[in-house]
Structures are given as C-alpha cells and as structure tokens.
Amino acid sequence: MVTREEYEKLGKIILDCAFEVHKELGPGLLESIYEECLCEELKNKEVKAENQVYLPVHYKGKELNKCFRIDILVENIIAVELKSIYQIYPIDEAQLVSYMKLANIKLGYLINFNEVLLKDGIKRKLNNYYFK
C-alpha cells in the first residue's frame, strides 16, 4: 500500500517538473508539447512516467472497442491530465475524476499550462481516498 508520504513526495516532484516546463516554455503551446516535456522532466528525476496510457471502457461487464487515454500515469498510481486552454471548467475536472475512477487511481492532477502563473492552473483531485 502506498503511504501518504509517498503520494506527497511524488506529487511534489510532478508539480516541480510542471513548473520547470512552464518556466522554460511559457503558456500558449499545444498540450502535446507540454506532455512530452513533462514526461522528459519526470524521467530526468528517475520517476516512471508513461504517456497516453490506454484505459479500456467496460459497459455492463463487456469491454468496448473504445478507450480513454490518461495523459500521463506516474509510477502507476497518479494520473496527470494536461490542458492548454483558456481556463479549466468543471467538465475538465470531471474528466480527470472519471479516468481516476475507471483506473482505480487515488490521486490525480489537472494542469493547465495556458496560464501566466501555472499555480493558477493546477487542480488536485482525490478519488475516495483518505490519507492515513
């Protein structure tokens, strides 16, 4: 079982790497560029980060031919959904929470790189998990 301290440590690394990418590139680029750069930063910190992770969709016990993709899955326990949009809307947060539920992931971050101050574009989400 992953401890609260492990989640917090990884969360800090993810955010530090996101701030580094934003400092280097600034706002206004394509989401896919930020995704590649954030994965590179995480790998440089020796953190396992997979991008565009396939997430199958099951409906009434049957796997459908459609799937979702998690932008970045960190150490198989934290989902990171990236945006490069004018502002984050509730539907963007719902998307992350839905992915987390489908993948049974307890912690996720929604990061909108299209902000002058990146801290204004970060949302942290928990999926029915209480840290002990």
Q: What per-residue confidence (pLDDT) applies to 1?
A: 83
Bridge partners (DSSP) listed for residue 81: 110
- Contacts (Cβ under 8 Å, ≥6 apart) of 121: 83, 88, 111, 112, 113, 114, 115
The pTM (predicted TM-score) of the whole model is 0.93
The strands making up 62-74's β-sheet, listed across from edge to edge, are 49-59, 62-74, 78-83, 107-112, 122-126
Spell out the per-residue pLDDT of the chain, length 132, in tens. Answer: 889 899 999 999 999 999 999 999 999 999 999 999 999 999 999 999 999 999 998 899 999 998 999 999 999 999 999 999 999 999 999 999 999 998 999 999 999 999 999 999 999 999 876 554
